[in-house]
Chains A and B, each alone.
Chain A
Amino acid sequence: MTVETFMSQRGEVSPKFIEKVKGIVGEENVSESECDLISYSLDYWLYGIFLSQYGKLPALPSVVISPRSSEEIQSILRCANEYKVKITPFGGGSGVLGGAIPIEESAILNLQRMNKFISLDETSLVAEFEGGIIGANLEQELNHRGYSMGNIPQSFYCSTLGGWISTRAVGQFSTKYGKIEDMVLGMEVVLPDGNLLNIKPVPRRSTGPSLKELFLGGEGTLGIITKAVVSVHPLPERTIKQSFVFDSIEVALDVVRKILRGDAKPAVVRIFDEPETARYFEEIGNKVTLIFISEGETDFVKLEGKLIKRIAEENGGASTGEKPVDIWLEKRFDIGLGPIIMQQGGIVDTIEVVSLFKDAANLYSDMVSAMRAVEGAISVSGHFSHFYREGACLYITFAGFPKDPLRYYKDTWTAAMEATLRNNGSISHHHGIGFWRKDFMQQELGPHGVELLRRIKLALDPNGILNKGKLIDGK
């Protein structure tokens, strides 16, 4: 093996464990081949991706296990407890915080064989899927039947339903359809001890603290999500696209705040700062651009469209029509520039945080300034998306050509996290913690919050087998 690992060496696993696991999933679904180890060594943590071009991988799994059923996963986890084998769950491998990297000399539990549509209940507007289904395939199953889940993240083509739940993910159409926690009604989870938990799908319940919440954002540390029942919507009858330009982020934020206060629920709301406006919409120039997509029943959509137009124009917005929305729709999945920059020695990444409206503009300016001040920075730009009546997610994209890539990467992240915390924001809106953002959890949750999570982890997973070193240590 000439591939170099820079975080965690490949672990040794007891041959007895391997034999037992082969007995559970079949020989062909347990692999120690070099190509498989390389392929499951990294998710989409961008510093890792940057180094991967030079043959440097963060870690290599001890073994790759690919089960086909919840029952198989139950047996595997029981076996892992018996032999004290650490397990890293691997969904689509699209996470950007290193949550699926097999550090701590762990084995990979590949969940992508469990990728089937199970059922659609058109009366209750819910559908059930296995956790390993890719977002685009899930949506294709629903669209074919006249429905949509409405969760379209940028990783739509490479992330899984189980991954969305595990990271508390959010899609581009979230202001209408909600975030993953609003969409998931029930789920099946294999607990670290191998027992099966079924959280039945109902709209809500009053049966003590919500167990569902433990696994929404659990990042594979508390259980393996094998199935989920999600809310679905009939495909929209009508779509209205609108865009407006403003002189400042502050005014644009205020417009969105007023629109949402008026009970409007546009599916897409995005405020692009000047650099992102220039990148997406060349014709607009040095302005702030606000785009909306309203969709659903024709009468509602028309009414919502009118309300948006009135409030935007009353507050100084100049309409720029549908074109910017179409451009965004066309470009929204295009991450093709990242690999080109990385090949030239550049570092790129994104950071998403969240705050109340009262802090949003300050958070934006402080965070952008702090990140631009890091040596090696070339570009820092941002947009607000995923709106609530109370606040919004701020999404920053940065790139640099530093002399010391790791130093630049760490310093930029630290600058961003510190700016977020001093502006009363939360350090992550929807990408999660993984291992990379873990150091900021103490400041985010406070010592008692982190301790509480640790105790929960310890209670569920006393041997610390599941996704060790991610989210919280469980030590």
Chain B
Amino acid sequence: MENKKELEQITNCALCANMCKHGCPVYLATGNETVTPQKKARLVLYEKKAFIEDEKGFFDVMFQCAMCGACKLNCLYDNFDLRDFIQKERNEAFKKGIIPDETRKRVETFARFGNPNGERRLIQKGEGEIGYFISCSTYSDQQLLKAVERILAKNGDHVQEFGGGDICCGAPLYYAGDSEGFKKAAGKMKEKIEQRKLQKVIISCPTCIKMMTEIYPEVGVHLDIEFIHITKFLHTLLKEGKITVNKVNATATFHDPCILAKELGITTIPRDIIKMLGFELKEPIYLGKEAHCCGGVPGGRIGDSKLVNKVNAMRINELKETAADVYISACPTCKAVLSDIDMKDIAEVVAEQIIDG
């Protein structure tokens, strides 16, 4: 443990009664005590005190976390985030080469192509001081890209779209524990954004925003640019009448992406948009900041695909219970991994209803 304060913090968590376990999606999907926050804290404490012999088993548990922040939301202690400790253990695991296979594959792909998807073309369209960054999750979603382009065309100012190729925020490296690789990726991303002379960047992926606004400064990369999530941009366009929409006579359920809700605090804006479109909202049991994680992609925030599938299946069941006509989210990864219920991105739903003219 680096300092006394950190030791006190992790020990507090390890000695707590697990008062946040009810919110942990990995625990709820598996019923496994070991993955609960308090038990992870006990394991971190024991690892630091050299009580644990099974290093591989320990590091595996550190990758059995959605890094969604549900534990922080329900924590008794101020200024404590268990994820900071888990992240450090992931960094350690990476240095020692003890990371899950699926995570390793993503890192290897990143090393080869500069992104987690593999070979892809560079996209650069339009010009102007406002940018739309095509995240890695957005790149492979043609429907979403078309919808975004239709919306961007309605904006009064010009918007330049960029992404693909080797432009990536570095989140896959961050969650894999490749701290050096992530730092380099952050520096490269800064360069790519700054060379485009942008004042503001719109992004569909909440994780990219978290990386660029919260995590980059931690590794000494500072970007003096406003990053806004597409929901805020859509909301403004609708409120200002820059786009007008047909009213839909149907029910809709919104799945709150964990970073969008818990970290960016955006929960009412997407619901306002959905209501503006005429939908009747049918809420799932867990919503807003309490919504459970979709599980993400295997080897992403959670290392192991079996565990990803369990978390994913739980969230799909929770959403399906609303029996809504349409399921909507505001994160391209959530959309992709929740495809069993025909999930749409909020930008697609808006674009479908735009009245041209």
Contact = CB atoms under 8 A, between A and B. Distances in A.
Most chain A CB neighbours (cut-off 10 Å) among B46, B61, B77, B306: B46
A105 B34 CA distance: 20
A39 B43 CA distance: 8
A52 interface: yes
A73 to B, nearest CB: 13
A329 interface: no
A147 B53 CA distance: 48
Contacts of B30: 113
A36 B31 contact: no
B28 A137 contact: yes
A339 B49 contact: no
A66 interface: yes
Given A39-B34, A140-B286, A339 B42 contact: no
B39 interface: yes
Contact of A339 (B15, B27, B74): B15
A157 B74 contact: yes
Nearest to B30: A113
B249 interface: no
A134 B16 CA distance: 16
Interface string A75-113: 000000000000000101110000000000000001111
Nearest to B60: A35
Contacts of B22: 134-137, 157-158
Interface string A106-130: 0000111111000000000000000
Given A38-B42, A339-B11, A339-B12, A110 B33 contact: yes
B20 interface: yes
A3 B12 CA distance: 19
Contacts of A38: 39, 42-43, 46, 52
A94 B28 contact: no
B31 A66 contact: yes
A93 B33 contact: yes
A100 to B, nearest CB: 10
Given A3-B46, A35-B34, A140-B285, A134 B57 contact: no
A158 B53 contact: no
B197 to A, nearest CB: 48
A55 to B, nearest CB: 4
B19 A52 contact: no
A76 to B, nearest CB: 15
Contacts of A55: 46, 49, 51
Given A144-B285, A339-B11, A343-B12, A34 B28 contact: no
A34 B53 contact: yes
B218 interface: no
A157 B45 contact: no
A446 to B, nearest CB: 34
B21 A134 contact: yes
A436 B110 CA distance: 54
A32 to B, nearest CB: 10
Nearest to B78: A336
B18 interface: yes
Contacts of B355: none
A34 B57 contact: yes
Given A39-B39, A53-B14, A335-B16, A2 B33 contact: no
B51 A3 contact: yes
Interface in B1-31: 8, 11-23, 27-28, 30-31
Contacts of B34: 35-36, 39-40
B341 interface: no
A68 to B, nearest CB: 8
Contacts of B76: 333-336
A194 B331 CA distance: 47
B31 A342 contact: no
Contacts of B51: 2-3, 55
B26 to A, nearest CB: 12
A132 interface: yes
A49 interface: yes
A39 B306 CA distance: 21
Nearest to B43: A35
Contacts of B195: none
B17 A2 contact: no
A141 interface: yes
A140 B28 CA distance: 13
A35 B57 contact: yes
Contact of A141 (B17, B43, B285): B285
A141 B76 CA distance: 23
A414 interface: no
Interface string B283-327: 001100000000000000000001000000000000000000000
Nearest to B283: A144
A132 B19 CA distance: 16
A87 B189 CA distance: 55
16 contacts: A2-B52, A28-B306, A33-B57, A34-B52, A34-B53, A34-B54, A35-B57, A38-B42, A53-B45, A55-B49, A94-B17, A112-B31, A136-B23, A155-B17, A158-B17, A339-B12
Which 5 A-B residue pairs are closest in the complex by CB-CB distance? A113-B31, A112-B31, A339-B15, A136-B22, A336-B76
Given A336-B16, A339-B14, 14 more contacts: A2-B50, A35-B58, A38-B46, A40-B33, A52-B14, A52-B15, A66-B32, A112-B32, A140-B286, A144-B285, A158-B17, A158-B21, A335-B19, A339-B16
Interface of B: 8, 11-23, 27-28, 30-34, 36, 39, 42-43, 45-46, 49-54, 57-58, 60-61, 74, 76-77, 285-286, 306
